[in-house]
Homo-oligomer: A and B are copies of this chain.
Amino acid sequence: MTVSNVINDHPHVKRETRDRVLVAMARLDYRINVAARNLRTGRTGTIGLAVPEIDRPYYGQLAAAIVDAAAKHKLNVAIEQTGATRERELSALALSRNRLYDGLILSTVGLGPADTELLRVDYPVVILGERIFDGPVDHVAMPNVDGARAATAHLIDRGCRRVAALDLGDDEQPGDVSVSSLRHSGYRQALTEAGLPYDPALVINLQQFTMEGGAEAASRLAASGQRFDGLFCVTDTVAMGALRAFATLGIRVPQDVKVIGYDNVSESAFLVPSLSSIDPDHGLMARTAVQLLVERIQHGVAGRAVCEVVGGFRLVERESTAL
């Protein structure tokens, strides 16, 4: 017991006793058994992070920020890949429920508003991303609508009059709060505010939010014969694919078309041309998500009212939208 007190830095241990214990520990090459401690305390010291795919720049950079933020609370981070499927997002939830993790940060993409009730669980969860509003758990959201509006307004401000978009358009159910539909509505708002018409022919539906998807959609846009002088892309990764496709097609950026993305991943500054983007401050989002989770872990799941945090953003102007 005194050994336990020494290990956990409890007071009421005589200096000399502590030293004797420490010497013995060193001599025996003693290692604490984390599993036994977990069983006894009910805590694991690990939080789960479920993201669609860790090899996408956006999630990689988010994960790095979360690992750092968690380390400040002495928490480890276990990463789960959900492949953006509803099923595997639910299975990530189940793992936490098994007390493998003290809490879970879940980047929702597959879960929809219909799944709200499934999130009503008795252990700490923070949603990072969209698709579920007014759910039963804390939520750290990006300024999707405002950011997309600012991005589109920036294109218009730079003289674009036929602004296209690569996203999922209005393809989804009403009431949809996916990242794509939120950003899409920001795009539409900016057009309206500038007195420009919304032309569905300028909205190209992506197959996936990847570089491949962006390149393919941009090629379809160019092949459609529609005139366009600006392009809003739902993510920087998609924009990267679009820039590549335009280069192949001989479409010059920014001379022929100005392009802007969303996320401001670190690659964007190094593209040719460098990519203008909306920077939602990943670091702050990560710190906030971890902070909210830690509060739930420490004060119980019902410790305070559910809260919803929406971050700010910054418009980063680069070559792809230069005059």
Interface residue ranges, A against B (CB under 8 Å)? 31-36, 38-39, 42, 44-46, 53-57, 60-61, 63-64, 67-68, 76-81, 95, 97-100, 211, 215, 240-241, 243-244, 247, 266-267, 269-272, 274
Give CA–CA (A34, B42) in the complex, Å.
10
Known: A35-B99, A44-B35, A272-B243. A76 touches B80 (CB 8 A): yes
In angstroms, Cα B78 to Cα A310, docked, is 28
Residues of chain B within 8 A (CB-CB) of A274 are: 244
CB distance from A50 to the nearest CB of B (A): 11
Q: How far is the CA of A95 from the CA of B33 in the complex (A)?
A: 11
Per assembly, the copies of the chain total 2
State in angstroms the CA–CA spacing of A64 and B54 once bound together: 6
Q: How far is the CA of A68 from the CA of B79 in the complex (A)?
A: 11
**A240, B99: Cβ atoms closer than 8 Å:** no
* Chain B: minimal CB distance from A64 (Å): 4
Which single member of B34, B44, B55, B241 contacts A63 (CB below 8 Å)?
Answer: B55
Known contacts A241-B270, A244-B274, A271-B271; decide if A97 and B31 are in contact (CB<8 Å). yes
Residue of A36, A55, A63 with most chain B CB atoms under a 10 A cut-off: A55
Q: Which of B39, B53, B269 contacts A33 (CB 8 A)?
A: B39
User: Are A55 and B98 closer than 8 Å at their CB atoms?
Assistant: no
Q: Indicate the member of A36, A97, A270, A272 with the most B CB atoms within 10 Å.
A: A270
Residues in B whose Cβ lies below 8 Å from that of A38 = 35, 38-39
Contact check, B54 vs A81: say whether CB atoms are below 8 A apart.
no
Is the Cβ of A79 less than 8 Å from the Cβ of B81? Answer: no
Residue from B35, B63, B266, B272 within 8 A of A79 (CB atoms): B63
* CB–CB B99/A31 < 8 A: yes
Measured in the bound complex, the distance between the Cα atoms of B61 and A60 in whole Å is 9
A81: chain B residues within 8 A (beta carbon): 64, 67-68
State in angstroms the CA–CA spacing of A42 and B35 once bound together. Answer: 8
Task: Check if A55 sits within 8 Å of B60, measured CB to CB.
Answer: yes
Q: A272 and B270: CB pair below 8 A? A: no
Instruction: Output the nearest chain B residue to A241 by Cβ-Cβ distance.
Output: B270
A184 to chain B, nearest CB (A): 24
B77 and A79 form a contact (CB under 8 A):
yes
